[in-house]
Structure 1
Amino acid sequence: MRLSVLAPAAVAMLLSTSSPSGAAQQQQQPEPVITPANIVVLVDESSSISPQDMDREREAAALIALGEFAPSSTIAVVGFGSDNGGQSPVDVVCPPSTVATAQDRQRLSDCTRTLRSRKQGEGEGTDHAAALQQALSYLQGDKNGPKLIFLLTDGKLDVTDSPRYGPDNIGDQRNRTASELIGTLLQQANREKVQVWPLGFGTVDQAQLDRFAKGSFQGQCGVRSPTPAATVVSSSADVAQALIKAFQAARCAGASDIQRTPLSSGGTAEAKVTIPMIATDGSILVTKHDSRISVSYVDPEGRTVPKSGTQGDSTFQVSGENGTVEGLRIVNPLPGTWTVKISSAPGVPPLDVSTVVMYQGAVRSSMTVNPPAPQPGQEVVVALSLHTRSRSITDPSALKDLSFTADIAGDGFTTPIPLNDDAHDGDSRGQDGVYSGKIVIPDQAKGTVKFTGTVAGIGISSDTRTVDAALVTGPRPLAATTTFGNTDWNVAPGDTVNGKVTVTNNSGRARKARIIVADAAPGTVASIPGDQTVLDVPPSGTSTFDFGLAFSDDTVKGANALTLRVVDDENPDDVIYEWRITATVAEPPPLVPIAIAVTVAAVLTTAVVLFLHRRRRRDVRGLVVHLYDGHQPRGDLAAPEQPSSVFRFHLGEAGAGVPHLAHSAGGEDSYELRRVGGQLRLRTPYGDTQALHLGERADVSQTLSIEVRDEHAPVGFPGDHPPDQFTAQEPQERPSGGNHHLL
C-alpha cells in the first residue's frame, strides 16, 4: 500500500516553524559551493625555451586558467626571464582575474598566448627570485581559499647578467644573492600560507625545485592528499599531464587522465571522458594545438549540449574556441560518459588532440550523534554522510578516495573517533554511504563536549560539521531506538519501509514522543503517516510502536538519504534519538506478461531448456574470488573465460608475507570452486567442503578470507533457485584433492 505524502509547500512550512511533522524534503539551507582558490602560474620565458616548448607552456597555463571551476577564484599568469640591465624580469601577461564569466575565461585564454621566449638582450636568464616575488605580491593578506603558485621552468636559477643582484659577479655572487632572497621569500610564503608547486622539464636542478616545494607552506587539501612537491618530466610534451596532476593534488580537484586522440587533416575523431556522480562543477578541456579545429560535446544521454546557456539542470560556458585550448565549463553536469567530437579543417596538419576532465564536488555533510545528550562514561555513536547540490552520495566507488574523520573535544581533551562503512565498531550497515564510529565519553568530562566531523579528499570541496552535546547525569526521562528488521533499503517510488521505534520512559508519568523525518538530502521526499508519528508512552517501562516510512512517487531516483529523529513532544527541540538512513529508489523491473512467457516456453523444446539450465547452473565462468587480509583487500582472481564446471586456484605469496591468488592446474595445494544446486561449494586443500553464498566472506586461514562474486549475472532459466538456496535433490559433486597447508 502506498502512503500519501505532504505537499512540498506544506513540508517547508512545517519545518520552518519547528513543528515536528511526519514528512521531510530538502531543508532550506544554502546550496554547497566550491571553495575558491587564488592561483598564480609562473612560466619560464628564458632563451633556452624553444618555440615548441613555449607552445606547450602556453597550453599548460591555459589548461589551469580554463579548468578552474570556482567562479570567485582568481588566476594570474606571469612570464619571467631576467633583468640584464633595463628590462623587467617578469611579464605580467594575465593580471589577477576571476573566472566568473565566459568573458573572464576568454580573456585568460587570450592573454596566455602572449607568453614568449626572450631573445638575446631581452633578459634571457632565469630569475626565479623575481618571479616568486611577483607571485607573492598577488597572494598577500587574508583571502578565501588556498593560495597556490605553479612554477614551470626548464632550467635553474641564472642571474649572472643581472645587476640588480650586485654590481659584479665575482665568484657567482649574483646567483648566491638571488638564492638568499629566495630563502627569505619562502619564509614569507610560509607566513602567508602560500604553497609552491614546481614543475621542471629538460635539464633542471632537482634540488632547487625541491627547495621551492618544501620551503613553502606545507598545507594540503585533505588528510589523504600530498603536500607541495616538485615534479620533473623529460620534455615539454609531458608538461600538461604533470601540471594537471599537481593542480589535482593542490586543489583537491578530480581529474581524468589525458586522452590523446589522433586527428587526420580535414578528418573527424571522438574522445570519451567520464564525469563522476560526485562532480558538481567541472570543465572538459580540449588541447587542439590549432585554432582551426572545432569541438562539440555530447552528454551521456546522447544530446549535443549548448556551448552557452542551460540544458536540463546544467549550465554551460565555453571559452578558448579561437585558441589552441578550448574549455567547456559545466555547472551540475550530467554524470556518465561524455563524447567529445573533434573536427579538423582542410589544410590543418595531422595532430594528436588531448582531452581531459577536471572537476570538483560541492558537498555538504550530515552528522548525527546518538544519544544526542550523553552521560559521562556512556558510549556514543557518531555518523557522517555526504550529499551534493542534487543528490545523496552513497556509492562506495565514489567515496573510496575520500576521508571521513571525526573527533570529540572537551575540557582538557581531544580524541579522534575512527569512522568506517564496513558494519563494525558502531557502523550498523556496511557500504551504505554512512560512515560511523563509537566513542566512550570520558568519565571526567563535564559541561558540554563538541563533536566535529569532516569529509575531505581529492574531487570534493571539503565540509566540516560540528555538534555541541550537553552532558547529562542520570537517566534521561525518555530514551529511544529504532529497528527496520532485514530491510535491504532498495525500494520503488511510492513504496513503504516498515520499522519499529522503542521508547523507554524513566519519568514516572505518561509522556508523548514524536517521530519525524528531517535533514533530507536534495531530492529526497519521504513521509510517515500522521497517525503513526505521535507515540503515547505509558508512565514507565518500554513500549514499541510500528511505523511506515514512505518514499514519494516524485522522490529522486537513486540514492536517497534522511535523518530519523525521535523528539519529546512537549519540547520538540529535545532530540531523544537520531539516525542517518540511506535508501536506493528505483523503478522495479517490468514483469513479462504470463501469456508471452507461456508462448516462449512452448517454442523451446524440453531438451534445450534442460541443457541450457544444467550448463548455466554448473558453469563457473563469471565467478571472481576476492582475497582479504583482515579488512584489507589483497587482490582478486577471475575464473577462466571458457566453459568449465570447476574453478581451481591456490594461495601463495607474491613476496615475503604478501598473500597472492593464482590459477591452478590441480594438485594438493588447490582450492576447487563449483556451482552445485544453485549454490557454491568450495573444496579446500585440507579435504573439507563448505557451502558458500555469493558476496559473503569465508575464512581460509587465521587471517585470510575470501569472497566470491558473480560478474556475469546470467539470465535465469525455468526452475532456477535463488543463489542463496541449496537444492538437496541435485547430486553433490565431490572434487578430488589432497591435504596441504599453505601460509
Structure 2
Amino acid sequence: MRLSVLASTAVVALLVPLPAGVAQQSEQEPVITPANIVVLVDESSSISPDDMQREREAAAVIALGEFAPGSTVTVAGFGSNNGQPGQKAVNEVCSPSKVATAQDQQRLSDCVKQLHSRTAAEGDGTDHAAALQQALNHLSGRKDGAKLVFLLTDGKLNVEDSPGYAPDNVGDQRNKIAAGIIDTLLVKAREEQVQIWPLGFGDVDGTRLEQFAKNAYQGKCGARSPTPSASIVNSSADVEQVLLKAFGAARCAGIGDVQRTTVGSGGSQTAEVVIPVIATDGSIVVTKHDSRISVSYVDPNGTTVPKNGTQGESTFQVSGENGSVEALRIVNPVPGRWKVQISSTPDVPEQDVSTVVMYQGAVRSTMIVNPPSPRAGQEVTVALSLQTRTRSITDPAALKELSFTAEAAGTGFTTPISLNDEARDGDDKSQDGVYTGKVVVPAEATGSVKFSGTIAGVGISGDTRTVEAPLVAGPPALTAASTFGNSDRTVAPGGSMKGSVTVTNNSGRARKARIIATDPAPGTLVSIPGEQTVLSLPPSGTSTFDFDLRFADDTVRGPNAVTLKVVDDEKPDDVIYEWRLTANVEQPPSPLIWFAIGGAVVAAAALAGLALRRRRRDVRGLVVHLYEGHRPRGDLAAPEQPSSAFRFTLTEAAPGVPLLTHSTGGDDTYVLRRVGGRLRLITPYGEDTRCHVGDLVDVTPALAIKVLDEHAPLGLTDEQDPLTTPSPRDSGLL
C-alpha cells in the first residue's frame, strides 16, 4: 500500500516519466568547470632578481592553487632569441599538465623552480610576440572550460637584438614588426576566446599591459564580475593581493582575505582562514618563501586533517611541501574557520608567510515555471534557486555577490525577467534563497516559450537552466496554487511543516490530482503522508487541501530544499503547479538545567538507550533476496559498516537477467530501514512499504524481494529479535 511519497537525493521517482521542462533539469552531481591556463613569465634582464623571485612564487600560486582536477596548466619563461646557438625566445618549464593528482601538482611545483633571470648568452630581451604565440598554440581550438593567459612581465617589448624580425634594427624596425605581430595575435586571442590577464612586475609599461588585457577576449564570470585588466605589483607585499585578485576574477574563484603571519626563526604561528558554505572545491595556499617551513591544517571541528587522503566527506591533496609555495586542495571541505599552523626551524630566518583560501562552488540551479503550460497573454512566475553538490544554499551573505537572471524567449520576442528574494513580484518569502519574478507572455505568441535562468558570479562554477513551456489555448481543466506563507520556516529533525494547496476543477466532472515531493537538495529527506497526496476534486469549483511536509530524523541539518508538484492523477506527466520550498532544520535547544540527583544515572541510561536504538536501526545483517516468480535470482547483503539505511538498485546483468547491486547514489535507488519491529522499504517510485523480516514484497509486476536478517539470534522470531523488537520510542517516521 502506498503510505507516503518520499523525496531524497537517493530516492527520486525518475522511473515515472517526467514532464517536459522538468526533465531538462539534470540530476547529475554538479562539478567544477576546468580551465586551460598558460602562465607566461618574463625572464628578461629588465626584471630584477627580487622581481624574478616574486614572479616565480606568483607562478607557483597560480599553478598549485588551481582546484579543478580537469584543468590544464602550462608554465613558460620567455626572453628573446638573439640569433645565438641554443637560444629560444620561449622555454616551457612546465609542459601542459593536468592537476588531477598530488603527483601532477608536485611536478608543477618542481618545474616552476626552473624559472630564472636570463643572461645575455641565453637571450635576455623581452619577446611578447613569441610568448603570446606559444600560449595561443596551446589554447586555440575547442577546449573544455575557460582559456586564460597570465602574463607576468614589465610590459616593455625588446627584440632589438632578435634578427628573426628583420636583418637589422634600423629605425627600431624589429620592435615595430613585433608590435604589429602582437596586435594580430590579440585579434586571434579575441576570436579564440582567450583572456589575457597581465601582472606587471618591476618598472612597468602600464599602457602596453592594459592593451594586452583589453584587446584580447573580454570574458567574465557574471553580470557583476570584472573583465580582464592589468594589475601592477609595486612591492613584495602586493604580490599575493594583486595576483589573487586577478586569478579570482579570471577563474571565477572566490578568494579569502590574505592572512600575513610573521614566523620567527625556530618559532610557530597560527593563521586563520574561512572556507564559506558555498565552497565545494578549493585550496589553502601558503606562501612560505622557504621550503624548510612546515604547515599543518586544522578544520573547524578542531581536527588536524590529513595532507593526502580522505576524512569524513572531504578529500585532501597537498603539493609544494618542498617548495616556497604549498597548497592543500580540498574537495567538499568543512565550511567555517580553519587554522593553519606554521612552524619554522632554527636555521630559517624570520619570514612573512601569507595564507589564503581560493575556492569555487560546484552548483546546480533549479528553475520553476508557473503555470508550466501558460496561455498567450498570461502572467507567468519564474523562480530560480541554487544548491551545491553537498547542500542547499539559502544564506543571503553567500548569495549576495551572485547574479540571478532569467528571460523568456519565443518567436519574435525576448523578454528579461527581473528576479528578487524580497517577498515581492511573486516571491512568497524573503531571503529563502528562491529568487522569483513575473513576466507576461505576449498576446501574439504562438507555439512555445523558452524560459532560461542563469546563476553566475565569482566563487561558483555557474549554471543555466532552460524550460520549454508549450502554449495552450483556453482555460486548463485544472489549476492550482499553494504557499507556506512568508513566515519562519524552521523545523526540528523529524518534525513537520503544514501547508495547503488550492485546486480548481474546470472540467465539469469529478477528478483527482496528486501532490508529489521531488528534486530534493543533497541531504534533504522529506515526505508527505500517503493519504494526503491524493486530492479528490468535485466536478467544479475550488477545493483546498491541507498537508504535512515531514522532515526525517536524519535529514541534513541546516537548509533543506525540495520541489513540490501538483499533477493530474489521470496524466501524471501533466504538471498543474509546482514550487520550490526551502526550510531550515535545526535541533531544538536541550534543557539548560539537569537535576543534580540521579543525573549520572539518567545520562547513563540515556546513552544505553541511544546505543540500543542505534543498534535496532542498524541495517547490518540484512540480506535482500530477489525472486522472479518462485525462482531465486540472487541476493545482496548490507555493507558491514554501521548505517541506518541499506541502499540498493535493481538493474540487469544482461537483457532479461535481473541483478541486485549496491547503490552509488543514483535516482533508481531502493532504501531499506529498520523501523520499530518492522522493515521499511522506500522505492524509487516514492512508495513506502512496511514489512517484516521474511515477508515477500513485490517490487515490479514480475519481481519480488524477501529480506532476511543474518544477525538475528537463532531460534528467535522477528517479534523476539532485539534488533527489530520495537521500543516505545521507535515508532514514527525516521
**TM-score, normalising length: structure 1:** 0.77
Cα drift, residue 130 of structure 1 = 0.7
What is residue 727 of structure 2 aligned with on the other side? Answer: none
Equivalent residue letter for 2:454: T
CA contact (8 A) 2:257 2:273 kept: no
Count of equivalent residues:
589
Task: Tell me the SS of whatever aligns to 2:133.
Answer: helix
Contact 2:262 2:350 in 1 (8 A): yes
How far did 1:14 drift?
A: 4.3
Once residues 160 and 308 of structure 2 are traced to their aligned partners in structure 1, the CA distance between those partners, rounded to angstroms, is: 50
1:67 — aligned with what? 65
Separation (CA, whole Å) in 2 of partners of 1:239 and 1:592 = 50
Report the Cα offset of residue 119 of structure 1: 1.2
Checking the alignment, whether the CA contact within 8 Å between 1:155 and 1:202 is kept in structure 2 is no
Q: C-alpha offsets along residues 534-561 of structure 1, whole Å, 9 cap, x if unaligned?
A: 0000100111111111111111000001
Task: Tell me if the contact between 1:59 and 1:240 (Cα under 8 Å) persists in the aligned partners.
Answer: no
More off after superposition, 418-427 vs 271-280: 418-427
Once residues 80 and 11 of structure 1 are traced to their aligned partners in structure 2, the CA distance between those partners, rounded to angstroms, is 52
2:426 paired with 1:431: no
Aligned pair in 2 of structure 1 residues 51, 202: CA closer, same or farther (>3 Å)? closer
Q: Which deviates further from its counterpart, 484-493 or 71-80?
A: 484-493
Structure 1: gaps (5+ residues):
21-26, 597-743
Matched, 1:76 2:74: yes
Q: What SS does structure 2 have at the residue aligned with 1:228?
A: coil
> Which position in structure 1 is the counterpart of 2:42?
44
- The 1-side partners of 2:412 and 2:9 are apart by 46
SS of 1:12 mapped into structure 2: coil
Shift of 1:223: 1.6
Cα drift, residue 590 of structure 1? 1.5
Conserved in 2, the CA contact under 8 Å of 1:524 and 1:556?
A: yes
Query: What fraction of aligned residue pairs are identical, expressed as a percent?
Result: 68
Amino acid at match of 1:443: A
Q: CA offsets, 1:547-580, max 9 Å, x none?
A: 1111111110000011111000001110000011
Q: Report the AA paired with residue 267 of structure 2.
A: G
Task: Name the CA distance, whole Å, in 2 between partners of 1:285 and 1:474.
Answer: 61
Query: Secondary structure of the equivalent of 1:564?
Result: strand
Q: Deviations over 1:379-415 (max 9, x none)?
A: 1110000000110000000000000000000001111
State the TM-score, normalized to the length of structure 2.
Answer: 0.78
Whole-Å separation in 2 of the counterparts to 1:550 and 1:66: 45
Deviation at 1:257, TM superposition (A): 2.3
Map 1:215-294 onto structure 2 (within 5 A): 215-294=215-294
> Following the alignment from structure 1 to structure 2, what is the Cα–Cα distance between the partners of residues 470 and 31?
28
**Displacement of 1:281:** 0.3
- Give the letter for the 1:149 counterpart: V
- Change in CA separation of 1:178 and 1:594 when aligned onto 2, cut-off 3 Å: closer
Asked if the contact 1:375–1:441 (Cα under 8 Å) also holds between the matched residues in 2, the reply is yes
Q: Distance in 2 between matches of 1:443 and 1:485?
A: 31
Superimposed CA distance per residue, residues 231-268 of structure 1 (whole angstroms, 9 cap, x where no aligned partner): 12323542332121111111110011221100000100
Matched, 1:517 2:483: no
Q: Does the Cα contact within 8 Å between 2:428 and 2:483 map onto a contact in 1?
A: no
1:490 aligns with 2:456: no
Pair 13,165 (structure 1): closer, same or farther in 2 beyond 3 Å: closer
**Aligned position for 1:109:** 109
Instruction: Report the Cα distance in structure 2 between the residues aligned to 1:244 and 1:429, rounded to whole angstroms.
Output: 36
Q: Given the superposition, is the C-alpha separation of residues 315 and 478 from structure 1 closer, same or farther in structure 2, using an over 3 Å criterion?
A: same
Amino acid at match of 2:421: D
Written as runs of structure 1 = structure 2, the 5 A alignment for 1:168-207 is 168-207=168-207
1:649 aligned residue: none
Change (3 A) 1:11 1:458: closer
Corresponding residue number in structure 2 for 1:296 = 296
Aligned position for 2:28: 30
Are the equivalent residues in 2 in contact too, given 1:56–1:240 (CA < 8 A)? no
**Contact kept? 1:452, 1:466, Cα under 8 Å:** yes
Match of 1:696 in 2: none
In the TM superposition, what whole-angstrom CA distance separates every residue of 1:30-77 from its partner, at most 9, and x where no partner exists? Answer: 110001100000001011222222211111101111111111100000
Cα distance, 1:6 vs structure 2: 6.7
Separation in structure 2 between the aligned mates of residue 249 and residue 84 of structure 1, nearest angstrom: 36
Deviations 1:128-176 (A, max 9, x none): 1111111111101100111000000125001111111101111111110
In the alignment, what sits opposite 1:53? 51
Distance change in 2, residues 1:8/1:405 (3 Å): closer
Give the whole-Å Cα distance in 2 for the aligned partners of 1:165 and 1:13: 64
Maintained 8 Å contact 1:5/1:526: no
- Whether the 8 Å CA contact 2:8–2:526 is kept in 1: the answer is no
Three-state SS of the structure 1 residue aligned to 2:398 is helix
8 Å Cα contact 1:380/1:441 also seen in 2:
yes
1:428, distance to aligned residue in structure 2 (A): 1.3
Partner of 1:17: 16
**C-alpha deviation, 1:591, in angstroms:** 2.9
Partner of 2:504: 504
Residues 94 and 111 of structure 1 are in contact (CA less than 8 Å); yes or no, is this contact kept in structure 2?
A: yes
Distance in 2, Cα, partners of 1:274 & 1:592 = 31
Kept after mapping to 2: 8 A contact 1:82/1:88: yes
Q: Which amino acid aligns with 1:444?
A: E
Amino acid at match of 1:50: S
| Equivalent residues of 2:409, 2:451 under 8 A apart | yes
Change (3 A) 1:372 1:306: same
2:387 is aligned to 387
Alpha-carbon distance change, 487 to 293 in structure 1, aligned in 2, over 3 angstroms: same
